[in-house]
Structure 1
Amino acid sequence: MRKAIVLLAALGAAVAALAGSAGAITGNYSADVVHDSVGLLVFYTPNTPAGEDPFSHRCSGTLISPTVMVTAGHCTEGVDEGRVYFEQSAAPNYDPNAFGGRGGDPTTGYPYENGITFHRADNYGFLAGFPETKDAGVVVLDTPVTPKNGFGILPSAGAIDRYIAAAGNKKQAARFTTSGYGLSDQDPRPVSFRARLTATSYAVNNEAPITEFNLKTTANASQGKGGTCNGDSGGPVFFYGTNVIAAVTSFGMNGQCKGLDFSYRLDRPEVLSWINDPNRVDAG
């Protein structure tokens, strides 16, 4: 949420900047070996001088076709190039001294080698204003990838409204599955496995679990729940038990990655139209 971390984080820039953006999966999480359409996106700073570190930030995203990934707009804002890693554990042998002291995993190449490169990252309109209304992004891969367990599926227009309505007063019946490569703890210190993790969350049990642009879910670890944290930004929030992406992780209200998670709804007609348009306009 750049999860993003805190509401302000939502204005930030993925893991490197505001963690508030949703980072990694927290609470009652487990290794995600099912959603192999979810990848770890690494973005590079444009026009980095030779010899300097190009790493900008990292996010999560989901393949919806062999070359198209959906993520958050705050992840793709101002950047166009990078790599994506689809391994469940993208840096199992992380060495802070690798790559000339920049840090990384010499075996997987994270975050400078191997993976799948991309040179196009579109931003729907983040940061359009406050509250944020356009936190969607698309990354176009240079090489096609076909996940064994299937692509993520875009929702139909209004799918979240119908799902929440069907739950009635029992919002815990409206369950979601989150997936991402973010931090797994932020308090008292950041914990990052750079691994794809998953957790179950519920729509908040109040009068407004959804807004025009956001889905609000619980991030507390009680009752078997889990949430998101820095680095999970852009990762999918699936309707429980499906590959249908209800929303992408956007931001949180707590710098310790506890409390409420806010994800950006993909079930809006104009958002779906933008994602599905191969000539979509990049807001920069």
Structure 2
Amino acid sequence: MRKTVTTVALASAVVLAGGTAAQAITGNFTEDFEHTYVGLAVFYNPDGTASHRCSGALLTDTVFLTAGHCVTLDDQGTVATSARVYFEQDVQALGSAYPTSGGVVSTELYSYGYEGLGNIPETRDAGVIILDESIEESQYDIEEYASLATAGSLDSYKRSHPGNSATTTISGYGVQESNGSQTKQVAYRERLTAESFVIGLNGTNAGGYNVKLSTNPGGGRGGTCFGDSGGPVLVGDTVTAVNSFVMNGACAGTGFGYRVDQQPFLDWLEATVGDEWDEIEHVTL
């Protein structure tokens, strides 16, 4: 059977209507008031129109980590020109459409090198947004930032936590339900959180670059859907991966996060964020 692969970014209704069918809810989520460093990023086309949205996590007062396909508009590497990042738990309160004001603006968007899902397992699906102003100068009162896993942390974490004990937390602003034709979606645009666990780090679609996560709603767990792309895969408050793609069903299939605990990515991030690198808390699991 041919496998279907899709990212979990939320694009326009036109794009979604022709995309891969999704047919389930994400499972056992709760409103997330805990991970205040997780935000919703709305991306804009060169003409200023809203393009799509993703999730992500603040690592410092200006560095916002997300997925590479979020800052990349197409498989040719065209990067979105700007973004607004919101940290309200309920962004839908700002209006029924994509917000065009408020939030914190960014005109510095960087992709690690994402060129599409044709290169699974190495998609290079990570990116970073540098906010134009410090979050401390904004309307948001965020007292702590996410930390970043050091190289190889997920490997040691999985080895020391056999079976389904390698638990993780996912957080994002994605769709909660989508029918098979994707003409109807339940999209609260609220920050929600759920628990998952690491199934594996190797194999055909992981290959050491991605973490395979349980999305079975049994046992109180949850999964990811459109709009959760870029949201953190957390161990405690440490980002180990960013939500990237799912197999065989956008809201029902197995979820994968692109690992940020890889030395080449960490080297790229250090070079990209400059002096902010020393402000990031680095944690070995």
**TM-score bin, normalised by smaller chain:** 0.7 to 0.9
Query: 1:201 aligned to 2:196?
Result: yes
Mapping 1:201-220, distance limit 5 Å: 201-204=196-199, 208=203, 210-220=206-216
Cα distance in 2 for partners of 1:73, 1:278 equals: 14
Give the secondary-structure state (helix, strand or coil) at the position aligned to 1:74: helix
In structure 2, what is the equivalent of residue 143 of structure 1?
133
In the alignment, is residue 9 of structure 1 matched against residue 6 of structure 2?
A: yes
Partner Cα distance (1:25, 1:235) in 2: 17
Is 1:113 matched up with 2:101?
yes
Encode CA deviations 1:52-94: one digit per residue, 9 max, x unaligned: xx01000001110111111000001121302011000011264
Q: Tell whether the 8 Å contact from 1:182 to 1:230 is kept in structure 2 after alignment.
A: yes
Q: Which runs of 4+ in 1 moved over 4 A?
A: 17-20, 205-210
Shift, 1:126, TM fit: 0.6
Change (3 A) 1:41 1:206: closer
Instruction: Write out aligned runs for 1:127-142 (5 A).
Output: 127=115, 129-131=118-120, 132-142=122-132
| Correspondence for 1:179 among 166, 171, 184 | 171
The Cα shift of 1:158 comes to: 0.1
Please, what TM-score do these two structures have when normalized by structure 2?
0.80
Deviation at residue 173 of structure 1 after TM alignment: 0.2
Contact 1:155/1:246, CA 8 A, preserved across alignment? yes
Q: Deviations over 1:67-123 (max 9, x none)?
A: 11110000011213020110000112643xxxxxxxx3xxxxx51011111101101
For 1:100, the equivalent position in structure 2 comes to: none
Code of the residue aligned with 1:56 in structure 2: it is S
Query: What residue number does 1:36 align with?
Result: 36
- CA shift, 1:143, in A, is 1.3
SS at match of 1:151: coil
Q: CA deviation at 1:26?
A: 1.8
1:87 is paired with a residue whose SS is: coil
2:93 is aligned with what amino acid?
A: P
SS in 2 for 1:272: helix
Calculate the aligned-residue CA RMSD, in Å: 2.7
Which amino acid is 2:167 matched to? R
Q: How does 1:55-70 map to 2 (within 5 A)?
A: 55-70=50-65
2:253 pairs with 1:253: no
User: Partner of 2:84 in structure 1?
Assistant: 83
Q: Are the aligned partners of 1:210 and 1:216 in contact in 2 as well (CA < 8 Å)?
A: yes
In the alignment, the residues of structure 1 paired with residue 266 and residue 249 of structure 2 have an alpha-carbon distance, to the nearest angstrom, of 30
Deviations 1:144-189 (A, max 9, x none): 1145341111101000000111123x2x100000000010112353
CA shift in 2, pair 1:93/1:39, >3 Å: closer
Residue 13 of structure 1 and its aligned partner are, at CA, apart by: 5.9
Question: Could you tell me whether the CA contact under 8 Å between 1:181 and 1:196 is conserved in 2?
Answer: yes
Query: How many Å separate the matches in 2 of 1:25 and 1:73?
Result: 25
Query: What amino acid maps onto 2:103 in structure 1?
Result: G
Partner of residue 267, structure 2? 273
Distance 2:160 2:144 in 1: 27
Deviation at 1:211, TM superposition (A): 2.7
Name the structure 2 match of 1:126.
114
Query: C-alpha distance in 2, partners of 1:265/1:25?
Result: 25
Alignment partners' CA distance in 1, 2:202 and 2:211: 13
Unaligned stretches of 5+ in structure 1?
Answer: 1-5, 49-53, 96-103, 105-109
Amino acid in the other structure paired with 1:201 = S
**Residue 275 of structure 1 aligns to a residue in which SS?**
helix
Secondary structure in structure 1 of the residue aligned to 2:114 = coil
Q: Distance in 2 between matches of 1:8 and 1:145?
A: 35
- Quote how far apart the aligned CAs of 1:8 are: 3.6
* Identity in percent: 40
**C-alpha separation between the residues in 2 aligned to 1:221 and 1:13?**
21
Pairs aligned (count): 251
Contact 1:15 1:59 in 2 (8 A): no
Q: Does 1:223 align with 2:225?
A: no
Question: In 2 relative to 1, CA 256–126 (structure 1 residues): closer, same or farther, beyond 3 Å?
Answer: closer
CA distance in structure 2 between the aligned counterparts of 1:161 and 1:141, rounded to whole angstroms? 31
Choose the corresponding residue for 2:257, options 253, 263, 271. Answer: 263
Q: Could you tell me how far 1:43 is from its partner in structure 2?
A: 0.3
